[in-house]
Amino acid sequence: MAIIQRKGGGKGTPGISTSSLPDIVFMILFFFMATTTMREVELKVQIDSPKASEAQKLEKKSLVSYIYVGPPKKEFVQQLGTAPRIQLNGAYSSLTNITEFIAAERDKLKENERPDMTVSLKIDATTKMGLVTDIKQELRRANALSISYAAAKEKDKAQQGR
């Protein structure tokens, strides 16, 4: 048997044009840049962190929940006065809400990550220790026993002379 060939040879499927691919990639990139928000809380309290000579960075920041304590920012002083306030997430709060805050933060985590949750206290250097002790007592009631204190690293004395 003879094999019969067609005229025009072996025409295949035409190639896919990739000339519009960069346009599509940039459109998707701009879409995500415009719609994504960073997980950052707008501070409503002033925090002048205390200085520390021995400071360590936290390993997994996704397992850290923050409690901010300090005097209200200038735009809130008229309403709230100058006494230190507690800020949980984006709003002022009271000591009684800390337990609920910790429970909500714990619920956001996976089951196996919950024991590794850390509460970081970002407290103004001028805040009285009585308020800090009250916050720690509430954290004990909420069974949040892993606490870190945020501080600014103190410069070495050799660097200060320069």
Residue 161 pLDDT more than 50? no
Q: Which helix (H) or strand (E) holds 104?
A: helix 98-108
* Token pair recorded at residue 11: 């025409």
Strand, coil or helix: 150: coil
If pLDDT is split at 50, 70 and 90, which confidence band does 162 have?
very low
pLDDT given at position 67: 95
**Angle of helix 129-141 versus helix 98-108 axis, rounded to 10:** 50
Average pLDDT over residues 116-123: 94
pLDDT given at position 158: 46
pLDDT given at position 45: 92
Of 108, 103, 84, 104, residue with least CA distance to 94: 84
Q: Which residue has the higher pLDDT, 8 or 110?
A: 110
How many CA atoms, within 13 angstroms, populate the side-chain half-sphere of residue 43?
A: 16
- pTM over 0.75? The answer is no
Residues 162 and 152: their CA atoms lie apart, in Å, by 19
Q: Percent of the chain at pLDDT above 70?
A: 87
